[in-house]
Structure 1
Amino acid sequence: MTNTTDRVALITGVSHGNGIGAATCIELAKAGYDIFFTCWEAMDKWLEIFQKEIQDLGVACDYIEVDFRQPDASTQVLDGVEGALGMPTVLINNAAHSVVDGYKRLDDDMLDDHYTVNMRAPMMLSVEFARRFEASMFTSGRIINITSGQNLGPMVGELAYGATKGAISAFTSSLSAELASLGITVNAVNPGPTDTGWMTEELKKELLPKFKKGRIGMPKDAARLIAFLASEEAEWITGQIIHSEGGFLRS
């Protein structure tokens, strides 16, 4: 299929309904984007239900199951979206790998797993996206990366995660300068602590007083900002790391 519109969005890391990835798919679908998402180890029944939920919003939706630890994953994904829906003009790098480590547990394999998913995959997806975009007829594109505010404070027990996600912030800044002349903006969103299903009740009680807004962040909070950055209204914003944390206090 040859796509001649600019309404195809690629979102990585959509493997359950409670995450930022799923919420972003919904927000972009509401804005009229056809949706192509990646997943890994998701439940087949949920995938079918979620795909239909997106389609019911009046847009096309397809997906691919991919392991970003594999070296050809980025090409596989971009070939998949072009074959199913056409050339995307929006790329959301949301997929992430996180395992508790700390200096006593961190080893080569653990570090490599974090590197391949959190650094290599979004970097290679971004540059291949840009190469294909440059060869297309499009003049406006978006790359939006998800970070975790690594420069705002330590992430104890998450050395590999903090380091690899932190690298994406630096990558965002440099890539934005390279791609500005192509009409591609490159930004990153730090959503702060977000309740995507991983928080225990004990942790929620600990975090809640640190939010000036009086509640813990939800996936839709990040998704709405991502959707704005993908919009035409955000064409003048590039090279930014946006900390959208609801006034979260780290000290």
Structure 2
Amino acid sequence: MKGDIALITGADSRRGIGAAICRFLAREGNHIWFTCLPGKEEKEAERLMEELRTSDVQARYSPIDFLDAEAPIQLWEEVATEWDLPRILVNNAAHSERELTFEELDADGLDAHYAVNLRASLLLSVQFARRCMSGSDGRIISMTSGQSLSAMPGELAYVATKGGIEAFTRTLAAEVAPKGITVNAVNPGPTDTGWMTEEIRWELLPHFPMGRVGFPEDAARLVAFLARKEAGWITGQVIHSEGGFH
């Protein structure tokens, strides 16, 4: 295939950050392979795939559930066999159950968050690093949510596993730097992907000095920049791109 391949996980909703990342990377000429959850999300995935193809790139998707420990390896094999090895990996898939406080948290809830948010992202990343040729300007970009900045009551399992993304980003970046691979994480802050009610929006607005909440395109622009070969001097960073949110 002529052109670079980008693998993006978790593009289940066309209004989401994952879909916006797919669009921006496609506009820059990358072929897009993305994932969604099996089931009703596949209809959205079909529409996104057709939309991406209007950018004159190839696009495909895999219905996949990262609760399955074998899913990351199976995904890599599918992409590599059907296309080739990606130059860009974006770990965007996430699992979140609100109200998992210390009163409600149990092993099942913690395991589900760990499997999707941390295990899948780390396994995909190390597979990428092992297979990526030295000097190919590989890019690993993971999405996080600012757990290191402040408390998020009611989301113990989510913050623990997303916090792990920040930790492995810094260490993996140091390990794979000799191959020319960069590893970064992006915290987009509160982003309106369809979940915000008007009440929530007005509650959040005073915390944004820019005068608006975040949009999926805000995160996608940054990810697209980090994916470029010109961004090869940026690695091991957790970038809090959230419009000054406080």
The alignment's TM-score, normalised by the length of structure 2, stands at 0.96
Partner of 1:133: 132
Partner of 1:113: 112
Partner of 1:65: 63
Partner of 1:124: 123
Tell me the secondary structure at the aligned position of residue 184 of structure 2.
strand
User: Aligned equivalents of 1:105 and 1:246: distance in 2?
Assistant: 33
Tell me the secondary structure at the aligned position of residue 165 of structure 1.
helix
Give the number of aligned pairs.
244
The counterpart of 2:179, out of the listed 178, 182, 185, is: 182
Unaligned runs of 5+ in 2: none
The amino acid of 2:64's aligned partner reads V
User: Aligned equivalents of 1:45 and 1:68: distance in 2?
Assistant: 19
Unaligned runs of 5+ in 1: none
Cα displacement string for residues 169-220 of structure 1 (whole angstroms, at most 9, x for unaligned residues): 0000000000000010000000000011112221111001110110000000
Tell me the secondary structure at the aligned position of residue 61 of structure 2.
strand
Equivalences for residues 16-55 of structure 1 within 5 A: 16-41=13-38, 42-55=40-53
Whether the 8 Å contact between 1:74 and 1:124 is mirrored in structure 2 is yes
User: Aligned equivalents of 1:198 and 1:79: distance in 2?
Assistant: 34
Partner of 2:77: 79
Tell me the secondary structure at the aligned position of residue 203 of structure 1.
helix
The amino acid of 2:231's aligned partner reads A
User: Aligned equivalents of 1:236 and 1:133: distance in 2?
Assistant: 18
Partner of 1:93: 91
Whether the 8 Å contact between 2:6 and 2:31 is mirrored in structure 1 is yes
**Displacement of 1:86:** 1.3
Partner of 2:156: 159
Q: Indicate yes or no: 2:85 matched with 1:56.
A: no
User: Aligned equivalents of 1:160 and 1:140: distance in 2?
Assistant: 33
Whether the 8 Å contact between 2:191 and 2:214 is mirrored in structure 1 is yes
User: Aligned equivalents of 1:44 and 1:124: distance in 2?
Assistant: 24
Tell me the secondary structure at the aligned position of residue 47 of structure 1.
helix
Cα displacement string for residues 92-147 of structure 1 (whole angstroms, at most 9, x for unaligned residues): 0000000011111110000000000011000000001111114xx75210000101
**Displacement of 1:6:** 5.5
Cα displacement string for residues 58-78 of structure 1 (whole angstroms, at most 9, x for unaligned residues): 000011011101011111111
Tell me the secondary structure at the aligned position of residue 151 of structure 1.
coil
The amino acid of 1:106's aligned partner reads L
Q: Structure 1's 44 and 116: CA in aligned 2 closer, same or farther, altered over 3 A?
A: closer
User: Aligned equivalents of 2:52 and 2:222: distance in 1?
Assistant: 19
Aligned CA RMSD, in angstroms, stands at: 1.2
Q: Percent identity?
A: 55
User: Aligned equivalents of 1:45 and 1:151: distance in 2?
Assistant: 36
